[in-house]
């Protein structure tokens, strides 16, 4: 009876109600001040967590629901990523993406070493700084009515490349942590495994998935498409997990494969309500894991941590601005591209939460990374608005 | 770290994949032989559980997902129940429903006492035999193209009344078990509380819900309608739980309330994929809880249990056939009405699973009740087909 004692459904149901209610209230407030709802959900978690109200704690049942949430989130992101467009995006997007990964990784790694952190932790921190948040950027560009500008296309193309490369980097970093060995041979092996998994899943999945779906269409039970898509997503997530990659790498691959089937729109429509319920639980629980006391200024250790956080924020911003210079086409607003790459989001947070769960990074380092994500996300919408305005004045004058 | 050790997301994800896959395969096979998919899902659980393959065990995380499944199921049943139609159904349906509750309860109670079981267990077993499964009956009538006959309307009306009264009986029985006292005062108090909760939730909910929904429409965050409906459902489930009723009573009330709002169709559409994923987990886990070894014929205790099971099946069938005689209008096929009321389903299984979880009934008694549900469900489709055929020949001759 011991496991049953850990989860009392009545109590968990109450906590789910609190989490979803707070997620929507804070998400709405974030939207009203021009910020993405995910920021509100993160802050809702910080407020509900042990540092402030203490209503929600790290609990195995809530962690499971959050894990389902992030798997469904990456499945949705995969469903929304157009593989062909991803292959078609210009050389500018590729250069921006590669610069935007190399810069933050190298600078974050160097800074962490300078703060006396270990090799593994430094690699981890460098990796968390790489991935641009597609969602936040795309949303802000839509709100600004700038989604069809060439700058926006470069930003989104680069962000998608960032996401895919970010997942490969995550797979490598998780693999290094799992095996505990950091050498060129190990890194090479895991890189090949991660790329092999993604390429293999796509190469096998794209011809096979339509046939499996056409079989399910002949079945009569209710909800067969929803359940088939969900089982496929969880199945690849489990396979990735067994290969010592992250579950979300599998979920993303499942999304990419199903995005190419003719049932794509139906699958997306049916997964959406499930995502609506579970994804906010993931972001709120990320906020719950933040221990604000690590930032207590009266503690000397906290002062070091605050300095590290400041340094990482500065690195996160400047390296992506530099990446914006990678735009090859002339006459474009490189500032806009750089600013558009600044927000870190889901992937960075997922990195950090896995690192915390696997005890690679400390609660302090976790809080520092969450602070980087919150800060970079927070400044992007107003900064992007300003840089578009500046750009519009400059470009006509230059031409 | 102890709770985290109980739930390893990778392992749970694997088990969810197995459960959903088996649910769909067995559900489809059930459909192909003219049986409701829920029967296939139950059998899938028996096959996956400890008695046969041993792939899935009672695990706190899976129990939580199953609990969410049954809450969503009752929410959906509530959403589909038309309160007005329920008040409009003729006196025949009411008489059939009341006979169909009183008969199985009294006979089941007496039989359990005759088998030497305690007062509380006998009440529990009597209660599990009362509720007709609306879903199974409605589905079979649809398949037979008989949904618009007067007999079908009486069956469905009576089944809806059965469901509501069944939930009140469940609330009373759970209340008795929770307080541990069985006296007229206690039964009266819990009956008033259960009826008060349902009536109160509906009386307050119906005028208030449209206003709350109109506020959410002014909000901008994604999935606000889905999350609001889900939070309302879980919130009432939790309230019912706190009042020592069952969570599903609250979920059913939430569904009844939202069924009356203008957003009803949107809510139903968005809850469906969530139900498609979680409801099968509930039924499979019910099957997993069945310990087939209690029926091992070489064990003397099992022989008593097999006799009890046989007696309960006979009672379950004959008492509902008798209830069919409660049809007041002349010229109707009373056999069809009686047969249509035979299948026990969700509500009986929910009763049994709560009884097992609260240690009111033994694994043997639980298995006996599941056997009654499986048997009554299994015989209904062919039996109903036959009795309609008999009726068609008789009625023209009589007129």
Instruction: Assign 3-class secondary structure to B254-321.
Output: HHHHHCCCCCHHHHHHHHHHHHHHHHHHHHHHHHHCCCHHHHCCCCHHHHHHHHHHHHHHHHHHHHHH
Instruction: Give the nearest partner residue to A274 out of B37, B64, B273, using CB atoms.
Output: B273
Do A64 and B7 count as a contact with CB atoms less than 8 A apart?
yes
A238/A347: higher pLDDT: A238
B246/A117: higher pLDDT: A117
Stretch A118-132: mean pLDDT: 87
Do A221 and B24 count as a contact with CB atoms less than 8 A apart?
yes
B395/A23: higher pLDDT: A23
Model pLDDT for residues B209-224, shown as the tens digit of each residue: 888 888 888 887 788 9
pTM of the model: 0.84
Instruction: Give the nearest partner residue to A31 out of B12, B14, B221, using CB atoms.
Output: B221
Stretch B129-148: mean pLDDT: 75
Q: Collect all residues with Cβ–Cβ distance below 8 Å to A338 and sequence separation of at least 6.
A: A320, A321, A322, A323, A324, A325
Report pLDDT for B135.
Answer: 64
Tell me: pLDDT of A347 over 80: no
What percent of chain B is predicted at pLDDT more than 70? 92
Report pLDDT for B6.
Answer: 47
Model pLDDT for residues A298-324, shown as the tens digit of each residue: 888 888 899 999 999 999 999 999 999
Q: Which residues of B touch A285 (CB under 8 A)?
A: none
Report pLDDT for A396.
Answer: 40
Model pLDDT for residues A366-383, shown as the tens digit of each residue: 999 989 988 888 888 888
Instruction: Give the nearest partner residue to B7 out of A10, A23, A63, using CB atoms.
Output: A63
Q: CA of B230: which chain A residue's CA is closest? A: A277
Domain limits, chain B:
2-398
Which residues does residue B344 pair with via DSSP β-bridges, in sequence order? B132
Instruction: Give the nearest partner residue to B61 out of A2, A64, A272, using CB atoms.
Output: A64
| Whether the complex's predicted ipTM surpasses the cut of 0.95 | no
Stretch B2-25: mean pLDDT: 79
Q: CA of A4: which chain B residue's CA is closest? A: B60
Q: Which residues of A touch B16 (CB under 8 A)?
A: 234
Rounded CA gap, B197 and B193, in Å?
6
Rounded CA gap, B115 and B121, in Å?
11
Q: What are phi and psi of B186, to 5 degrees?
A: -65, -45
Q: Which residues of B touch A226 (CB under 8 A)?
A: 273, 276-277
Stretch B294-318: mean pLDDT: 89
For chain A, give the mean pLDDT: 84
A156 φ/ψ sector (left φ>0, alpha ψ -120 to 50, else beta): alpha
**Chain position carrying tokens 């409660």:** B326
Residue of B2, B9, B77 for testing the chain A interface, max A β-carbons within 10 Å: B9
Q: How far is A327 from chain B (nearest CA, A)?
A: 33
Instruction: Give the nearest partner residue to B238 out of A14, A20, A224, using CB atoms.
Output: A14
Report pLDDT for A339.
Answer: 92
Report pLDDT for B134.
Answer: 64
Q: Which residues of A touch B67 (CB under 8 A)?
A: 9, 13
Model pLDDT for residues B173-212, shown as the tens digit of each residue: 777 777 766 677 777 877 788 788 888 998 999 899 888 8
Tell me: pLDDT of B318 over 90: yes
Task: Please name the fold of domain A2-398.
Answer: Na+/H+ antiporter like fold (1.20.1530)
Q: How far is B131 from chain A (nearest CA, A)?
A: 23
What percent of chain A is predicted at pLDDT more than 90? 31
Out of A14-28, A180-194, A339-353, B92-106, which region has the weakest mean confidence (pLDDT)? A180-194
Q: Which residues of A touch B222 (CB under 8 A)?
A: 37, 276
How many CB pairs lie under 8 A apart between chains A and B? Answer: 157
Which stretch, A247-261, B154-168, B381-395, has highest mean pLDDT? A247-261
CA neighbours closer than 13 Å in the CB half-sphere of residue B140: 33
For residues B129 and B101, is the Cβ–Cβ distance under 8 A?
no
Model pLDDT for residues B230-264, shown as the tens digit of each residue: 999 999 999 988 887 778 888 988 998 998 888 88
Q: CA of A3: which chain B residue's CA is closest? A: B60
Rounded CA gap, B329 and A236, in Å?
58
Report pLDDT for A88.
Answer: 61
A82/A376: higher pLDDT: A376
Do A241 and B7 count as a contact with CB atoms less than 8 A apart?
no
Report pLDDT for A4.
Answer: 37
Stretch B341-369: mean pLDDT: 85
């Amino acid at each position: 009876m011991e496991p049953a004692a850990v989860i009392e459904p009545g109590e968990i149901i109450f906590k789910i109600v609190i989490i979803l209610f707070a997620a929507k209230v804070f998400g709405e407030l974030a939207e009203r001040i021009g910020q993405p709802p995910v920021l509100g959900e993160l802050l809702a978690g910080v407020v509900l967590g042990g540092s402030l109200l203490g209503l929600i704690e790290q609990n195995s049942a809530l962690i499971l629901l959050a894990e389902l949430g992030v798997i469904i989130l990456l499945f949705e992101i995969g469903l929304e990523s157009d593989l062909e467009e991803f292959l078609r995006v210009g050389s500018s997007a590729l250069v921006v993406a590669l610069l935007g990964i190399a810069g933050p990784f190298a600078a974050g790694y160097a800074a962490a070493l300078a703060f006396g952190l270990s090799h593994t932790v430094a690699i981890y921190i460098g990796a968390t700084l790489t991935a641009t948040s597609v969602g936040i950027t795309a949303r802000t560009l839509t709100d600004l009515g700038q989604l069809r500008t060439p700058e926006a296309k470069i930003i989104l193309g680069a962000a998608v490349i960032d996401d895919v490369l970010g997942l490969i980097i995550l797979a490598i970093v998780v693999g290094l942590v799992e095996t505990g060995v950091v050498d060129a041979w190990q890194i090479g092996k895991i890189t090949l495994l991660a790329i092999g998994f993604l390429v293999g899943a796509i190469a096998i999945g794209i011809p096979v998935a339509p046939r499996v779906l056409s079989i399910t269409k002949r079945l009569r039970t209710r909800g067969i498409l929803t359940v088939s898509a969900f089982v496929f997503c969880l199945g690849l997530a489990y396979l990735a997990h067994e290969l010592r990659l992250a579950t979300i790498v599998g979920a993303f691959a499942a999304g990419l494969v199903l995005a190419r089937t003719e049932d794509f729109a139906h699958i997306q429509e049916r997964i959406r309500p499930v995502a609506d319920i579970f994804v906010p639980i993931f972001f709120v629980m990320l906020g719950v894991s933040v221990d604000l006391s690590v930032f207590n200024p009266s503690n000397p250790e906290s002062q070091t941590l605050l300095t590290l956080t400041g340094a990482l924020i500065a690195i996160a911003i400047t390296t992506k601005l530099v990446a914006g210079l990678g735009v090859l086409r002339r006459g474009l607003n490189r500032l806009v591209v750089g600013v558009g790459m600044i927000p870190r989001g889901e992937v960075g947070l997922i990195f950090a939460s896995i690192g915390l769960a696997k005890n690679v990074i400390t609660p302090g380092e976790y809080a520092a990374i969450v602070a980087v994500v919150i800060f970079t996300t927070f400044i992007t919408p107003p900064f992007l608005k300003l840089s578009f305005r500046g750009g519009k004045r400059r470009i006509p004058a230059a031409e």
